[in-house]
Structure 1
Amino acid sequence: MKLVALATLVAAFGSSVLAASGGSTQGLQSTECVAAGDASKNLYATKSEVKYAKLFTIEYHDSYKVVNDLAANGTYVLYQCGSERPSVKNADAYIPIPVKSVAAWSTSAAAFIEALGVQDHVQNLGTSPSITSACLQELLAEVIKPFDEGNSTSVDVQEQNNTVVFNMPGGEDANATNTAFSSEYLETSALGRSEWIKFFGAFFNAEERANKLFDEISSNYECFTHKANSEFNKLRPVVAWTSYAAPSSFNNNTAYWQISVAGYKYDLVRDAGARMLNTTSRTQSTMFSSAAAFLDALEDVDIVIDESFVSYTYSELLKNYGISGSNKAKYPWAAAGRVFRPDRIQSTAGGLDWFESPVVFADALLQDVIGVAHPKFAKSAYSPIWFRNLSKDEPVAVVTASNCTDMYAARKDPAATCSSIDFQSANPTDSAYSGVDVSQTQDLIYDISKSEIISGAAALRAAVVATLGGAGAALAALYVL
């Protein structure tokens, strides 16, 4: 695999969309603790309204908020510091706000915190080698302490020394009294995942920042959707999200192949002016016990996005998928070399930004999927942010702390401004997708009822957790979607 230094992508990790930095109160409200006599006043004039996300809610009261993670069945009471702690039925944690010391186990939580520009409050981070943010890497080198993941006693102390610990369900120390679980990875829409910026913003009284950033993301996303579906209303290549798991002790030494049909991927593919390979499975992923059954489902696919939990070459992928020179022409995506992996941006340790920035910035993610589905969508040259063409051995960009210009600046949305892009329709006669039925705009449905299917995704989740340890629970959850 070729490696290159970060060039044009540096700006995506060091600039500030809000000009907020450590210590700045711009875009924050009720930044000071209150006296007991002031607690009855309405302290939260700016509120966040949840529009797209289905898995969290925020209820506002005069001096406290009730935040619910509906997927984790968690209720978190956020009360203004200095005020009397309210009593809320079935509360899982009472957390004084604005939070002053924060820990996060998942890389996506860290990305949301940095997007808000409040990383100056972070004391501890988990899975730190996987973090790709240049400025969080610099903070880890100078200020933030990684969790001592090899010592559970030490971890307990680190957690209790924070006002709040952000985690994903199934992660470390689920019994901590200051833990707030977040389930952004379970949202069924791309914008729903991004809207969790409001969930995190509530803990910092950063509703103004969260609302402003999400409004910009959603507006840009909708512009991309409108343009893509206007320009590509006929030419809609079929996209499949796939992965391969090699035989190991974690899966009874039995390989399996997977097609993901997660809801947010449907959104992205359709909104990009393409079609999704669908299966009749009611789960978010369909797992095949043989390469033959798996390949049968991919026979009419134009583009493959491989999310295998390995890093390998194109020839290795073809071998793992069961494709040789004799049958390669049977599969449009293999014959044309349209195989992509979302691993372009990595940390030195091989951590993928795929589990950080795209969760926050749905507009940038949609822009990238448009670039995969319609490579010549813009009249000017377009370089993908996260996807690289594996068949062309495109390089990865390794991010290091040296790429950071201001470690307390808010993480910038890497998306281009949609309104500034001059879209152009691809002519079917000139297109690489010569085998596409240009009259068909619906998803390609593959009937799995007679295929060799493995029920459930527990084996994959167990394999990732066993490989990475408890801190890998968040990654495992993402990989089975």
Structure 2
Amino acid sequence: MSPSLSESFSLSSGFCLQVFLFAVWFCNFGVLLEGVNGTATTSATTVKVVNASKVEDAAYFHIYYGQTFKVIKNTMDGKSYLLIQNNTRMASRTKYCTTRIKSFVIPLSNYSVDTNYFPVSFFEVRIAGLLGTMKGMTSVSVAFECVLKLYNEGQIEMMNDSEPQKLTQFAAHFISNTDQAQSCNFATFLPTGEDAPLQRAEWIKYLGVYANMEVRANEVYDAVKENYMCLVKAVASKTGSFKPIVAWMEYNNGVWSFTKEAYKLKYVEDAGGENIDNSINKVTYNTSIPDDLEEFHAILCTVDVVIDETYTPDPVNYNASNFLQNINLEDQSCLAFLTHQSLWRYDKRIQNFTTIDWFDGAVSQPQLVLADIVEALFPSGNYTTTYFRNLVKEEAVTNISPDMCNRDSSTAMEPTIVACS
């Protein structure tokens, strides 16, 4: 796949595509419709769309269907991706590569992934056969065992992301960093840009389109969403007027801050808790300033559950003592989260003792994150958390390794469904 301007057309290509898509809409070649299972009709023809996805929750991408092509509108990078079926004349005759339009032939014969801070779990455990066509990655910072296994077996090649021209050998190269220089085969995949847990998880449908496996993607998302909403309803039916106060906190260079990321706050609300951000005006506190420290300590005395997000290069050895040293409070008797043993971190699953699965598997399986937070807020004692570990109880981390992969790469792992009643 060449990135040359001669093959990707000129500035007029955007206008040409608009004309082409309008013609497809209007004439008997096909009907452009938003992804939904069913039938679309024009005066000249009837198109049966039997393998389609409809975006229900995600805010930053949309899918449209024609008879022999699909269009993904990705508002994260402002691009439209024209996906053309490989058994059509259009596949060999059409090529777009402009600042706002790119074309791909599907299903993808192979692909590579920029695996730096990238949720590879969407590729690995959700769609059958998709992992087997992954042939390149840019880093071993991956928190999934089967990807690591394929790399160790030589089935996935390590690529240098500083040499983007070498990545053009693949039918597609998926990225999450939209600021980097891009070749024609680069496609942005950025579920972490969404503001709610289910919105992030629905990006499985984005990938399903590239593999012609929308039915499978729909099944996976439906299962995840159903389980997530079941947990929300279950905790709502059991929660009284009391809602535990939860603080997502981070320490950096002598300053404590309270997290305001929307998806984290949504998790707490759905788990039956209340975010501390709703009751305070200030979000950062400098421990070297006495007034700041005093106010910070006062707030901590009102908190029931703490999630410590402090970065550490050594997660394995980070414990409650590190946290207590950083808050610099001698009299800890008022700290309810210590009394009730509710001090947590989300680094329970890690790879090579540094790569945290919170930024990977937790994105594609929000129902497991929600179940963890419900357990943190309303401990039952009979549920084993997936991503969260309790610092007060000195829970250890789980190191992810290739030998933990016990399945064939052509077999999709089903989403983990949490018991809900």
Bin of the TM-score, shorter chain as denominator length:
0.7 to 0.9
Query: Is the 8 Å Cα contact of residues 285 and 296 (structure 2) preserved in structure 1?
Result: yes
The reply on whether 1:140 has 2:151 as its aligned counterpart is: yes
Partner of 1:53: 58
Alpha-carbon distance in structure 2 between the residues aligned to 1:109 and 1:354: 9
Match of 1:167 among 139, 159, 175: 175
**1:218 Cα deviation after fit:** 0.6
Is residue 2:315 matched to residue 1:307?
no
Q: Within 1, Cα distance between the matches of 2:191 and 2:118?
A: 9
| Correspondence for 2:108 among 99, 106, 121 | 99
The corresponding residue for 1:262 is 261
Q: What secondary structure, in the 3-state scheme, does the structure 1 residue paired with 2:174 have?
A: strand
* Aligned partners of 1:364 and 1:413 also within 8 Å: no
**Hey, what's the Cα distance between the residues in 1 that align with 2:174 and 2:370?**
27
Q: Which of residues 226, 230, 255 is equivalent to 1:219? A: 226
Question: Aligned letter for 1:274?
Answer: G
Whether the aligned pair in 1 keeps the contact of 2:77 and 2:188 (CA below 8 Å) is: yes
- The superposition leaves residues 68-110 of structure 1 with CA deviations (integer Å, 9 ceiling, x where unpaired) of 2212222211111243227799633211111111111145441
Gaps of 5+ in 2: 1-27, 31-45
C-alpha distance in structure 2 between counterparts of 1:156 and 1:340, whole Å? 43
Distance 1:212 1:101 in 2: 23
Q: Distance in 2 between matches of 1:234 and 1:354?
A: 31
After superposition, residues 169-318 of structure 1 pair within 5 angstroms as 169-170=177-178, 173-246=180-253, 255-279=254-278, 286-290=283-287, 292=293, 293-310=295-312, 311=315, 312-318=318-324
For residues 229 and 177 of structure 1, do their structure 2 counterparts lie closer, same or farther at Cα, with a shift above 3 Å needed?
A: same
For residues 379-423 of structure 1, what are the alpha-carbon distances to aligned partners after superposition, in whole Å with 9 as ceiling and x for unaligned? Answer: xx111111110122111111211111114132332332424xxxx
8 Å Cα contact 1:131/1:347 also seen in 2: yes
Alignment of 1:82-481 (within 5 A): 82-84=88-90, 85=94, 91-106=100-115, 108-114=118-124, 115-117=126-128, 118-128=130-140, 130-142=141-153, 143-149=155-161, 152-153=162-163, 155-157=164-166, 159-170=167-178, 173-246=180-253, 255-279=254-278, 286-290=283-287, 292=293, 293-310=295-312, 311=315, 312-324=318-330, 326=331, 328-376=332-380, 381-408=382-409, 409-419=411-421
What does residue 6 of structure 1 align with?
A: none
The aligned length equals 361
Cα displacement string for residues 141-195 of structure 1 (whole angstroms, at most 9, x for unaligned residues): 111122235xx23x530x1111111111346x43221111122112111110100
Alpha-carbon separation, structure 2, partners of 1:239 and 1:352? 22
| Bigger relative CO (Cα 8 Å, ≥ 6 apart) | 1
1:7-36 CA distances to partner (integer Å, 9 max, x unpaired)?
xxxxxxxxxxxxxxxxxxxxxxxxxxxxxx
Deviations 1:303-324, CA, capped at 9 Å, x for gaps: 1111111122211111112233
Task: Report deviation, 1:204.
Answer: 0.9
Q: Secondary structure at the match of 1:224?
A: helix
Report if the CA contact (8 A) 2:97-2:103 is conserved: no
For 1:147 and 1:43, the matched residues in 2 are separated by 41
Residue 406 to residue 320, structure 1, CA distance change in 2 (3 Å): same
Which residue is 2:72 aligned to?
Answer: 67
Q: Percent identity?
A: 24
Per mean C-alpha deviation after superposition, the further-off stretch among 85-94 and 130-139 is 85-94
Distance 2:48 2:152 in 1: 37
| 2-structure distance, mates of 1:354, 1:332 | 26
Rate the CA distance shift 1:44–1:288 in 2: closer, same or farther, 3 A.
farther
Cα shift at 1:211: 0.2
Q: CA deviation at 1:329?
A: 1.8
State the distance in 2 between where 1:391 and 1:52 align: 37
Deviation string for 1:46-78 (max 9, x for gaps)?
Answer: 211111111111111122111122122222111
Q: Secondary structure at the match of 2:417?
A: coil
Kept after mapping to 1: 8 A contact 2:77/2:178: no
Structure 1 residue 274, shift from structure 2 partner: 1.3
CA RMSD of aligned residues (A): 2.6
Question: Which amino acid is the alignment partner of residue 321 of structure 2?
Answer: S
- Residue identity in the other structure for 1:411: M
